[in-house]
């Protein structure tokens, strides 16, 4: 693969930071090394000394003073080595990328940690997309077809998959990364839905030459993902092991499956004949199409809002947000099954029924 043809001028101009390179070297050096080179503050001046975090099974993650000093200090731009090592093993277990043993120049699989997958995607786009470039965004289509087209016409695939760990059916859907025999897939993963959205931990997997470019961008922007956050997640994952993590994922899936079923039951109860929808197979959203209504904008943004119900009109997902859209998106992540039941005797829980059964004038 000739990756240089995909790189933007801004990304191509980035060079490694000598200071960041020094930090990488020191991070791998023994404690006996005396450093007078970097601008790292003395951790003895930090007010935070220790921490104990209790996880849901009652076990704890403990940061003693030495661990806390590391957690509060600068770290490698690509991510903490022990976290990256764990994540690479997970990717191999889940996706078995064909490129794992390729030479680096031919797209060997590599990874970096980001401040959530959103930041990673932003850096991917800035690396390979110039103003005016054409981007293909898939509608429902067979993933194998997309990969075949990418090989035929030599383009990259950006796989944004934040709900991978929230698939309700087995086996899980195959990923582009698992099909990537050429080193043309850049995959964005996130722990936001299964560990914490506030920790801001994501990771990008892709060809080594492109991952190195993303790390160069990190060096001159966020510098690195929070060391404290990375250490906390790394300690948790090593404590759980792969099987423990996947068991946690199964508990997450079971929770959201029950949430989904509660909203589907409410939709069946109140919206039959008024709307149509498909049963979600992953994630935390139900997409609803109102029959006989050209655009739901007024229905959702005015009537639902007045009844203290928030949903997202579908036009927000159009390239042309002014275009009419009969769809809206309802999340089943936070509302309780009782709230989603929409009992007509409960004024605030009328939810979808009240906003969809009342007549709405077309704009």
Give the tokens for residue 61: 């993650």
| pLDDT greater than 90 at residue 304 | no
Q: Please give the angle made by the CA atoms of 335, 338 and 340, to the nearest 5 degrees.
A: 55
Tens digit of pLDDT for each residue in 32-52? Answer: 877 777 788 999 999 999 999
Mean pLDDT along residues 122-144: 80
DSSP 124: H
| pLDDT greater than 70 at residue 363 | no
pLDDT of residue 345: 43
- 168: Cβ–Cβ under 8 A, 6 or more apart, which residues? 253, 256, 257, 260, 280, 281, 282
Size of the chain in residues:
363
Mean pLDDT along residues 91-95: 98
Among 113-127, 142-156, 181-195, which is the least confidently predicted range?
142-156
Mean pLDDT along residues 241-246: 97
| pLDDT greater than 80 at residue 138 | no
Among residues 278, 120, 252, which one has the least CA distance to residue 190?
Answer: 120
Q: Judge if pTM exceeds 0.75.
A: yes
**Strands of 157-160's sheet, edge to edge?**
109-114, 202-207, 185-190, 157-160
Among residues 21, 220, 218, which one has the least CA distance to residue 112?
Answer: 218
Give the tokens for residue 296: 């739901």
CA-atom Rg of the chain in angstroms? 24
Cis amide prior to 120 (ω within 30 degrees)? no
Give the tokens for residue 11: 């990304």
| pLDDT greater than 90 at residue 134 | no
Q: Count each helix (H run) and each strand (E run) in the chain, helices first.
A: 13, 10
Q: Which is more confident, 278 or 144?
A: 278
| pLDDT greater than 80 at residue 291 | yes
Q: What percent of the chain has pLDDT over 70?
A: 92
Among 141-145, 313-317, 331-335, which is the least confidently predicted range?
141-145
Rounded Cα–Cα distance for residues 179 and 174 (Å)? 8
pLDDT of residue 310: 84
């Amino acid at each position: 693969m000739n990756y240089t043809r995909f790189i933007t001028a801004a990304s191509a101009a980035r060079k490694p930071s000598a200071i960041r390179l020094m930090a990488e070297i020191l991070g791998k050096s023994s404690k006996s090394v005396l450093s007078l080179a970097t601008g790292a503050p003395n951790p003895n001046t930090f007010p935070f000394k220790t921490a104990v975090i209790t996880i849901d099974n009652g076990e704890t993650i403990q940061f003693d003073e030495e661990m806390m000093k590391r957690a509060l200090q600068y770290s490698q731009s690509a991510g903490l080595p022990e976290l990256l090592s764990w994540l690479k093993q997970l990717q191999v277990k889940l996706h078995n990328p064909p490129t794992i043993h390729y030479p680096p120049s031919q797209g060997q699989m590599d990874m970096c940690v980001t401040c959530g997958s959103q930041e990673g995607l932003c850096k991917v786009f800035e690396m390979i997309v110039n103003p005016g470039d054409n981007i293909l965004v898939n509608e429902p289509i067979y993933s194998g077809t997309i990969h075949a087209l990418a090989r035929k016409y030599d383009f990259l695939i950006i796989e944004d998959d934040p709900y991978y760990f929230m698939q309700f059916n087995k086996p899980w859907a195959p990923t582009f990364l698992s099909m990537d025999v050429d080193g043309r897939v850049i995959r964005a993963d996130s722990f936001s839905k299964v560990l914490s959205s506030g920790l801001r931990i994501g990771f990008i997997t892709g060809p080594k030459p492109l991952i190195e470019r993303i790390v160069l961008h990190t060096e001159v922007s966020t510098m690195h993902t929070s060391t404290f956050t990375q250490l906390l997640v790394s300690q948790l994952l090593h404590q759980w092991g792969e099987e423990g993590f996947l068991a946690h994922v199964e508990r997450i899936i079971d929770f959201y499956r029950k949430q989904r079923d509660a909203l589907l039951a409410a939709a069946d109860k109140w919206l039959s004949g008024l709307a149509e929808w498909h049963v979600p197979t992953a994630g935390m959203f139900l997409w609803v199409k109102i029959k006989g209504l050209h655009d739901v904008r007024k229905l959702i943004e005015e009537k639902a809002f007045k009844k203290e119900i928030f949903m997202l009109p579908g036009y927000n997902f159009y390239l042309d947000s002014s275009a009419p859209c009969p769809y809206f998106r309802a999340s089943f992540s936070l509302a309780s099954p009782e709230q989603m039941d929409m009992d007509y005797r409960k004024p605030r829980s009328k939810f979808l029924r009240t906003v969809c059964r009342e007549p709405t004038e077309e704009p």
